[in-house]
Amino acid sequence: DTLSARAAECEAARRLPADLAREMSEAGMFRLITPASLNGLEATPLEFMQVLEALAKANASASWCAMIACTSTLSAAYMDEETAAEIFGDPDVIAGGIFAPMGKAVMDGDDYIVNGRWQWGSGSANCQWIGGGAMIEGTKDARMFFFPSGDVELHDTWHVAGLKGTGSGDMSVTNA
């Protein structure tokens, strides 16, 4: 009922209001497919789709943001346990991003320095961690990198006709 009642507000704001995102997070809507070892609900693909469908009937933008936040946690399967726990371990954390390798990463010892700008950072304004795909310089490899939200600049580029409430503007990092 809350999502339906606030759909017009989300559309007008062009993003999910922070209190609504927090309420959805506390209800587990962003942790549906996160592994149980990281405080997730480990929903099956069918359960995940059924929840997204129910959310979309109430508020399509909220459902889209839940889908992005949930699928972002799939990256945990490709991380070492310590890194996955740092990013996804807090049960109330909201993560998002886009895998499209629009960024560039340069090796710096055991780390990478990433620069890039990505389109369609759905829900990013409410995220504590934001991911972006990047090509590794000198290779044909692409990887997903996660950044604390404070390291990411959000750009107000989301002026569309549908799914306005997703806040899917551009995002960028510089030497992150």
> Furthest-apart CA pair in the chain: how many Å?
51
**pLDDT tens by residue, 30-62:** 999 999 999 899 999 999 999 999 999 999 999
pTM for the model:
0.94
Please determine, for residue 74, whether its predicted confidence score (pLDDT) is greater than 90: no
Q: Does 78 score more than 90 pLDDT?
A: no
Q: What phi and psi values does residue 104 have, to the nearest 5 degrees?
A: -130, 135
Among 163, 169, 62, 54, residue whose Cα is nearest residue 119 = 169
As a whole number, the mean pLDDT across the chain is 96
